Structure 1
Amino acid sequence: MNAFKPQKELQKIIQRYVSGTATADEIIFVEKYYQYLDKNADILDQLDAEEIAKMATDNFSAINAKINVDQKRKTIRLYQYGAAAAILLIVFGLTFAFFHQTRPLLKPEFVTQKSLDVLPGKDKAVLTLADGSKVVLDEHTAANISEKDGLKISKTKEGQLVYAVLNQSNLKSGSTIAYNTIQTPKGGQYQVILPDGTKVWLNAASSLRYPEVFSGNERSVELMGEAYFEVAKNKAQPFHVKSHQQDVEVLGTHFNINSYLDNNTIKTTLLEGRVRISNGQSVKILKPGEQAIAEVSGNGVRLATDVDTDDETAWKNGLFQFNNADLKSILKQLERWYDVQIDYRSIPNKKYNGMVPRKAKLSEVLKMLEKTGNIRFEIGQGKKLTVLPEK
């Protein structure tokens, strides 16, 4: 089957639409595209993968050619009004058109549910302060968490934990460094703004340990799991991220680190700037668009130069995005985000390309996977997800 040529362009448009950064042209395009797919849903259900790809490609080109936006026209920006359900419908309509397997599309079976559906994760975490006290971070947490010794810790409505130095002279000094730890559970994510202004997005089932105030000749944090960093520049105080046996040194840059132990590798993907990766066995200098892959066992670091950075950071933008991804790796992401139990002993060897919003219910994501191949899932009691045998 020929590749769906506009796929990458569609993915980028959807990413911008979901994140609220789409242009007026792109907003109109998405709405027109969905209207077309919605009107032709019955036809699409009867077509095979090649026919769907051709229809989607032809329609993409036709709609794109017709768009002539009057900048004074008032466009309904669904995402500004919090219409999450409408956004999901649009994104799913688009996704259906180009979400396909690398093997032929077969007649799908739908998800079998024995219990209630599983809702997606949300902004939640637990903050452990230097004195050992714990603060649950969710929509009910008070805005002001702590304010003492010249340092203020607060929580925003947008799901951010913010450290702010109010008075440099009042900060505690001495050899003892006070550390905080923020930990997200399965089904949780959170953003932290550190005292130096560095922004960190923490994915599900991850933790970040860091000092309340950076002092000395370097800034150092410890990561388990996955996080995206936008490091504040400070040449006099390099920033270090330690994860397992790996150390990432930066001056000011944007990068993603995936260090889940069950992946057996630590992937560091650079989007902007320059970083130095070392794990005791070897050292690599990354340029934007490159990825360092280190074995958890510590056996060296290899470099990948043909990396799609959008795939690696899609989670931060509210998306699951797959580029020839195997089913097992996809299910691991679903396991962390939906906090489900998965039996990996009978996972078929299938690979997928496509995109699904992380705001979707689990059944909606599974239906997408089912529509792209001869595979079925079952959600059972205790949030157990089973891959059923192929017929």
Structure 2
Amino acid sequence: MTAFRPQKDIQKIIQRYLAGKATADEIRFVEEYYKYLGKEEGHLDNADEIQELEKANFVAIQAKIASSKKYRVLPFYKYVSAAAVLILLTVGLYFFLSKNSNTVPVPLTKIENLDVLPGTDKAILTLADGSKVILDEKTAENISDKHGVKISKTKDGQLIYTVLNTDAVSSSEKISLNTIQTPKGGQYQVVLPDGTKVWLNAASSLKYPEVFVGNQRTVELTGEAYFEVTKNKTKPFHVKSENQDVEVIGTHFNINGYLDDQTIKTTLLEGSVRVCNASAVKILKPGEQAIAGFAKNSMINISSDVDTNDEIAWKNGLFQFNDADLKIILNQLERWYDIKIDYSSIPKKRYNGMVPRKSRLSEVLRMLEKTGNIQFELLEGRQLKVISQKK
């Protein structure tokens, strides 16, 4: 089955379906989704403004399916919001087995005995004096105002640094370093003192000064983070990770450096970055990705065949996969749901799909099970057993 790039391809699939040129898989996708909407119409009452094209698409789909008398036709007001749902894939959770599969996508059914809540905005902040602050919804908004810098948090999971006294900062003899660390099942956003925004994914950490002094801005990353760096031509921004240094002036990029993924990937969305390690130096252009191992002498390979939406889907609240290896998918689930996975029996399969990260674990697992290749069993201690199904 072709790997779908959701924001680009869903509209094309609909148009091919309406024109009678869709493949068998694409026909099943549209019609099974419509069938799902028919069963779940109670969830479609909060319609927003929908573009006329989207309305027209669903009217046409309604008429086409009604003519085949496969499914009952819903009143338009019951599914008008579903037009955007189908096109944007914000609801309707499907996984597709990639390539050489005739599996029909099946709508979500809750599995009562496999239910783990998704991750939340939570982290631990370690201040320069070694004291630790738990960052969650119960934490007070004002955390510290020492060294001429105010540290505060917002209710929606942001840690903000504000320079109050530049004289106090510049006269300080020692740079005060802070570290924010997200556990499994956690994520957090940091606004650094220069205005740079950092989204920190689960099981990750970022070390940084309370204020940037000198002729460069340097932070240290483990795990994964998305950066929107404030431009400053006289003070470049450096992200140091395992045997790698990424230098920027002002740009948007994502670094994925989880050790269990075995590679470090730097994906550029805007601007320009320089990626270097002990053996190579590469310059990235928007839409490119640098891929390297963790060894000091590892080669840096550049790929322009990358979907940036996939790489930053986590930051936008999604799991999104295009022809992804099952182990990579399970690694993400393990970090986000804070579970332990037995990898000894996983099949060597690749998958396409999109699921909101706010979904319960049971919802994601059921989608994977519907491919017919695997089953899951959740044991005590949040341990997940993967059972490969032979055909």
TM-score w.r.t. length of structure 1: 0.78
Go from structure 1 to structure 2 and tell me whether the alpha carbon gap of 1:146 and 1:77 turns closer, same or farther (over 3 Å shift).
farther
Query: Which residue of structure 1 aligns with residue 92 of structure 2?
Result: 94
SS state of the match for residue 148, structure 1? coil
Indicate which of 36, 59, 63 corresponds to 2:58: 63
Percent identity, aligned pairs only?
A: 62
- Residues 199-249 of structure 1, C-alpha deviations (whole Å, 9 max, x = no match): 000000000000011000000000000000000000010000000100000
Matches within 5 A, 1:76-115: 91=89, 94-96=92-94, 99-106=96-103
SS state of the match for residue 170, structure 1? helix
CA contact (8 A) 1:106 1:374 kept: no
1:176 Cα deviation from its structure 2 partner: 1.7
Query: Which residue of structure 1 aligns with residue 370 of structure 2?
Result: 371
Matches within 5 A, 1:190-269: 190-269=188-267
In the alignment, does 2:131 pair up with 1:136? Answer: no
Structure 1 Cα separation of the partners of residues 161 and 384 of structure 2: 39
Go from structure 1 to structure 2 and tell me whether the alpha carbon gap of 1:65 and 1:7 turns closer, same or farther (over 3 Å shift).
farther
Query: Which residue of structure 1 aligns with residue 47 of structure 2?
Result: none
Indicate which of 142, 148, 151 corresponds to 1:150: 148
Q: Which letter maps to 1:198?
A: T
Structure 1 Cα separation of the partners of residues 5 and 237 of structure 2: 39
Query: Which residue of structure 1 aligns with residue 327 of structure 2?
Result: 328
SS state of the match for residue 171, structure 2? coil
Structure 2 Cα separation of the partners of residues 4 and 306 of structure 1: 13
CA contact (8 A) 2:275 2:283 kept: yes
1:261 Cα deviation from its structure 2 partner: 1.1
In the alignment, does 2:291 pair up with 1:293? Answer: yes
Moved more, 370-379 or 157-166: 370-379
SS state of the match for residue 169, structure 1? helix
Go from structure 1 to structure 2 and tell me whether the alpha carbon gap of 1:116 and 1:366 turns closer, same or farther (over 3 Å shift).
closer
Structure 2 Cα separation of the partners of residues 383 and 77 of structure 1: 39
Q: How many residues align?
A: 339
Q: Which letter maps to 2:316?
A: N
Structure 1 Cα separation of the partners of residues 92 and 124 of structure 2: 36
Structure 1 Cα separation of the partners of residues 59 and 187 of structure 2: 35
Structure 1 unaligned segments of length 5 or more: list them. Answer: 13-32, 42-58, 68-75, 79-86
Q: Which letter maps to 1:62?
A: N
Query: Which residue of structure 2 aligns with residue 283 of structure 1?
Result: 281
Query: Which residue of structure 1 aligns with residue 384 of structure 2?
Result: 385
Structure 2 unaligned segments of length 5 or more: list them. Answer: 12-31, 41-53, 63-78
Computed over aligned residues only, the root mean square deviation of the Cα atoms, in angstroms, reads 3.4
CA contact (8 A) 1:325 1:352 kept: yes
Go from structure 1 to structure 2 and tell me whether the alpha carbon gap of 1:10 and 1:157 turns closer, same or farther (over 3 Å shift).
farther
- Residues 54-107 of structure 1, C-alpha deviations (whole Å, 9 max, x = no match): xxxxx998328799xxxxxxxx999xxxxxxxx89x9575333x7443231458
In the alignment, does 2:206 pair up with 1:182? Answer: no
Structure 1 Cα separation of the partners of residues 272 and 5 of structure 2: 31
Go from structure 1 to structure 2 and tell me whether the alpha carbon gap of 1:265 and 1:132 turns closer, same or farther (over 3 Å shift).
same
Structure 1 Cα separation of the partners of residues 271 and 33 of structure 2: 37
Q: Which letter maps to 1:352?
A: Y
1:115 Cα deviation from its structure 2 partner: 5.4
Matches within 5 A, 1:118-133: 118-133=116-131
1:35 Cα deviation from its structure 2 partner: 6.5
1:374 Cα deviation from its structure 2 partner: 2.3
